[in-house]
Amino acid sequence: MAGRLVIVGAGQAGFALAAKLRALKDERPITILGAEDVIPYQRPPLSKKYLLGEMDFERLTYRPQSWFEENNVELRLSAYVEEIHRDDKHVRMADGSTLDYENLALATGASPRTLPAALGGDLDGVYTVRDKRDADRLAGEMRPGRRLLIIGGGYIGLEAAAVARHLGLEVTLIEMADRILQRVAAPQTADIMRAIHVGHGVAIREKTGLRRLLGMDGKVTAAELSDDTTLDVDFVIVGIGVSPNDRLAQDSGIEVANGILVDEFARTSDPAIFAMGDCAMLPWKGMQIRLESVQNAVDQAEAAAAVLAGAGVPYEPKPWFWSDQYDVKLQIAGFNLGYDETLQRAGSREGSASVWYFREGHLVAVDAINDAKAYVTGKKLLESGLPVDRARLADPSVDLKQLLS
């Protein structure tokens, strides 16, 4: 039997790796070392139903505690790994204890970017949303009538805005760039999502940055904005992106470049060590990319499991992502990096639409807004590589199914 696999990080990818190995009947000893004090759980609801109070923690977890015992997967919580000693293959935890490995998997995720203290980022009442503890602290602030400032118009900021409006807060969202969703979606998708939020009463201020947060007795009270206005606030959510947790790898001499560099088998520059999920930078269609999504964390971890179990095939990401805001489901298939053309199509029912992305004439992604048919068709078209007739796609009288034949 193979020697011990140590997994650093008890999140989406870490859990998926252990679960897949057991599903493949691989019986090697597995230890998962997780920095948090709770068993592995899904993060997406933290800015959606969990924050709204409509989902309890048990429903967030992938499996109950008993699964780990029944499957002989040792789970050590509150176990933060500080060092990897590659020469004699062990890791050292923050409490000084060590653990030997034959293979190591780094599934350390990403950390939200924070505001520097010089801008008031260290004041009480300033939050990021990454883990259960963040969401629990934030939920305590979400009371009707309170004034919330959200910094950053990406998915996390927009989802938090939707929750806050649902709960009756006054919400202002500022975005330094020209528009919300600038980094991840086309102007058409941003226009649709902006209109939805404005319709729900969110004050969206684009091209508006934060000068600094002001506080009293260590607690945030106001925000000075780049347009020379000052806004009174009760609390602030910072949603300005994440950075991969790659320091552990870097300190041990593993190759890192804005994420832990891996090959298509999720192997790092050390053949005994794998990396997967948000912390990994992977090759795809001649590019190096990092994908921050459930799909990638699970699929890449499962690909690594197959490699460990001896039957690996190269991992080819099939990106998909979703975001829930109010009663709107945004589903994204593909990856729009480097797109040079977009096309918007009206959906068959009110409020549904889709935005299609092309690069050099080839479909690369689709954003479907309350439009499951567009999402499913887009996914099939991306998988098949079939050429897409753009004139027919733009014509709402053409059934999407016809594009598949």
Ligand X SMILES: Cc1cc2nc3c(=O)[nH]c(=O)nc-3n(C[C@H](O)[C@H](O)[C@H](O)COP(=O)(O)OP(=O)(O)OC[C@H]3O[C@@H](n4cnc5c(N)ncnc54)[C@H](O)[C@@H]3O)c2cc1C
Minimum gap (Å) between residue 137 Cβ and ligand X: 13
CB of 374 to ligand X, least distance (A): 18
d(CA 327, CA 351): 10
* Cα dihedral value 172, 178, 180, 184, nearest 10: -150
Site stretch for ligand X (CB under 6 A), options 6-14, 56-64, 198-206, 259-267: 6-14
Q: Is 140 exposed, middle or buried (0-12, 13-18, 19+ CB in 10 A)?
A: exposed
For 210-297, list the strands marked E by DSSP.
210-216, 219-225, 230-232, 235-238, 242-244, 260-261, 273-275, 280-284, 287-289
Q: Judged by CB under 6 A, how many residues of this single chain contact ligand X?
A: 36
Contact code string over 26-65 relative to ligand X, x by CB under 6 A = -------xxxx------xx-xx------------------
301: three-class secondary structure by DSSP: helix
Give the span between the Cα atoms of 144 and 128, in whole angstroms.
20
Shortest gap between Cβ of 329 and ligand X (angstroms)?
10
Would you say 164 or 225 has its CB closer to ligand X?
164
Q: Are strands 235-238 and 103-106 parallel, antiparallel or unpaired?
A: unpaired
- Any idea what the Cα angle at residue 141 is, between residues 137 and 145, rounded to 5°? 170
Residue 321 makes contact with ligand X by CB under 6 A: yes
Q: Kindly tell me which of 323 and 352 has the beta carbon lying closer to ligand X.
A: 323
Q: Which of 5, 107, 210, 213 binds ligand X (CB under 6 A)?
A: 107
Among residues 292, 326, 359, 380, the one that binds ligand X under rule CB under 6 A:
292
Residues 66-95 contacting ligand X, CB under 6 A: 80-81
- The residue range among 68-76, 140-148, 169-177, 287-295 that interacts with ligand X, by the rule CB under 6 A, is 287-295
Site for ligand X in 116-155 (CB under 6 A): 129-130
Question: 81 or 256: whose CB is closer to ligand X?
Answer: 81
Contact between 240 and ligand X per CB under 6 A? no
Q: Which amino acid is at 391?
A: A
CA–CA–CA angle 303, 304, 307 (5° rounding): 90
Position 300 contacts ligand X (CB under 6 A)? no
Exposure string over 317-344, b if 16+ CB within 10 A, otherwise e: bebbbbbbbbebbbbbbbbbeebeebbb
Q: Which residue number has the CB closest to ligand X?
A: 11
Nearer to ligand X, 10 or 123 (CB): 10
* 3 state DSSP class of 251: helix
Which residues contribute to the site for ligand X (CB under 6 A)? Answer: 8-14, 33-36, 43-44, 46-47, 80-81, 107-109, 129-130, 156, 245, 248, 277-279, 292-295, 297, 321-323
